[in-house]
Amino acid sequence: MGCQKSIIVVGGLIIAIVSLLSVSPAIHAADTQYKIAMKRSNPDKPLTRDEVLSAVETRYKGRIMSLQAKPSSGAPDCHIVRMMSLTGEYMTINVACD
């Protein structure tokens, strides 16, 4: 009887590990990408953090987790905003990154 119990326990552990590994890609896919196109109101001055936050808060509702500037040669005002929506969705919002 001891051998059968250990086989059942090992089988259960294998099933648990396989199910966790199969769910793992779904967890990573839960991060949804959104985009907001913005232009500078004054061509000589870059977008400010306040302008970016205002645009995000106007379009989406939830809690802003982080705001990060990611300028590049093609998008000098690019910002990445991470947000938790009111429904619990984890959102990554690219602002002025086109």
Domain at 31-98, CATH class: alpha beta
The domain locations on the chain are 1-30, 31-98
CA gap 56, 74 in Å, rounded? 21
The Cα-based distances of 41 to 22, 44, 77 in angstroms read: 47, 9, 12
pLDDT score of 25 more than 80: no
Each residue's pLDDT tens digit, 26-57: 444 457 889 999 999 899 999 999 999 999 99
Q: Does the pTM exceed 0.75?
A: no
pLDDT at 35: 95
